[in-house]
Structure 1
Amino acid sequence: MNTYQVQQFKKIRDEITRFMMMYKFALNEVETKIEILQEEFQMLHDYSPIEHTKSRLKSPESILNKLYRKGIDISLSSIKSHIKDIAGLRITCSFTSDIYRICDMLKNQRDLTVLEVKDYIEYPKPNGYRSLHLLVEVPVFMSDREERVCVEIQIRTIAMDFWASLEHKIYYKYNQAVPSHLLRELKEAADAAAALDRQMERIHREVKVIKEEQEEEEVELMNQLVINNQKFSIPDALLKLLGPDSKNA
């Protein structure tokens, strides 16, 4: 390999490295946003709708294979235009309602542009797959320019994630040719997982109502005095006198 060839090889390698770094930085941006939302909810509400997250970058080999399957020209601009799932983030929740809550929070992020939403929860795939997919565009500031980079976000419940992982392992084991009886059982398992999610959602709503009622009772108790087993309500006028404004009077 002569000097010119070596220089060309280095140039191509640097371009590919820079290209992949853009997706890594975009993924970092989204992960940071999710971490902030998770910590905020935990601190303020003593509860987080996010159980855990998992991120991944497609390998150059995997990207190349996808280009071949789609019959797309091999170039970095072509990859950016046609391959939208190079950077991927999976968010796992306990309840279905949390999925849509997280989706709304991400939509409210001003520097994120939501390009596409695919709701496989409301409209499951024929095999039973359920998940909410978002395709977002993230600004990435490189040393010499700003790039808008796509990140695919999948949001699922724990039950949905367990089913999807199992389905993926079975397809990998049988190299896509899964026996019909297993496909039938997988669909039944998906329906059972969906039923479990609905049941857990109902329980979650009931627990929330009970908690709110308990908080109301606690407030009422704070506004009462008990003397000789007799309850007295503290008048609002007296409560105002005991409030912080009375100190400055």
Structure 2
Amino acid sequence: MLSYKFGMDEITTKVRILQEEFQHIHAYNPIEHVSARLKSPESVLDKVRRKRTEPTFERIRDEITDIAGVRVTCSFVSDAYRVFDMLTNQQDVEVVTVKDYIRDPKPNGYRSLHAIVEVPVFLSDGPTPVRVEVQFRTVAMDFWASLEHKIHYKYDKQVPDELLASLRDAAITAAKLDEDMERLHGEIHGDRHTPELTETNGSLELSEQVVTQLIRQRATLREP
């Protein structure tokens, strides 16, 4: 668990360095705030039982990839992809998997960009690779996800259908807010900070070509 904490701290420090650099040097800061959480040993073991994972350190490392988590909340959708690019472009950050729930939201309306990354943690006996889940989302996405989590907790995951429908409607509203604010930001500041964006089903997002290009760039950086 200590190695996961140190890996989480490594990613948090990297993001905070970017945040502070933009705050003091650049005219625009894409990062609103950063948070981190480490699952408790009890929570990890509970997930091991639910997933029927073999209870060995090796299998847990391979199959339970969200023990350490970092959440990066950004101002706009384009910023989420931009910060993902800046973080995963660093030579000691290896991208393991990417799940883009901004382009393809979950059925309940959840939107976020998830990446499992691996970073080396240098302990007294040498470097240890540690996997950390990093979530990139906007303020609107974060607010919706927080509310959805509280509702599921209150109802012990047995949420009434009409409330689930209202949550899906709220997710659409949040996506529209992201779209409107991104457009307003572009009108005020121009598009110098905004990658190629397309509008799909009322949701503003990076084009599939750009997303694929970003992920491939991260993968090919480490090819010999």
**1:209, CA displacement in angstroms?**
2.6
Partner SS state of residue 135, structure 1: strand
**1:150, CA displacement in angstroms?**
0.2
Which stretch of structure 1 is more off in the superposition, 70-79 or 108-117? 70-79
Partner SS state of residue 64, structure 1: helix
**1:46, CA displacement in angstroms?**
2.8
1:84 and 2:65 equivalent?
yes
Structure with the larger helix share:
1
Match of 1:194 in 2: 175
**1:99, CA displacement in angstroms?**
0.4
Match of 2:41 in 1: 60
* Distance in 2 separating the partners of 1:71 and 1:210: 48
* Divergent runs of 4+, >2 A: none
1:74 and 2:55 equivalent?
yes
**1:145, CA displacement in angstroms?**
2.5
Q: Which has the larger radius of gyration?
A: 1
Partner SS state of residue 105, structure 1: helix
Match of 1:94 in 2: 75
* Distance in 2 separating the partners of 1:188 and 1:31: 33
* Distance in 1 separating the partners of 2:129 and 2:149: 31
1:39 to 8, 16, 20: 20
Query: 1:27 is aligned with what amino acid?
Result: M
Higher relative contact order (CA closer than 8 Å, sequence separation 6+): 2
Structure 1: gaps (5+ residues): 1-19, 212-249
* Distance in 2 separating the partners of 1:21 and 1:210: 43
Identity rate of aligned residues, in percent? 59
Structure 2: gaps (5+ residues): 193-224
* Distance in 2 separating the partners of 1:92 and 1:34: 11
Counterparts in 2 of 1:181-220, with a 5 A limit? Answer: 181-209=162-190
Query: 1:145 is aligned with what amino acid?
Result: G
Query: 2:169 is aligned with what amino acid?
Result: E
* Distance in 2 separating the partners of 1:26 and 1:188: 37
Q: Is the 8 A contact 2:16 2:34 kept in 1?
A: no
**1:79, CA displacement in angstroms?**
1.4
2:122 to 131, 141, 145: 141
Match of 1:15 in 2: none
TM-score, normalized by length of structure 2? 0.83
Match of 2:153 in 1: 172
Structure with the larger strand share:
2
**1:47, CA displacement in angstroms?**
2.2
1:48 and 2:29 equivalent?
yes
**1:210, CA displacement in angstroms?**
10
The structure-2 alpha-carbon separation of the partners of 1:118 and 1:45, relative to structure 1 and needing over 3 Å to count, comes to same
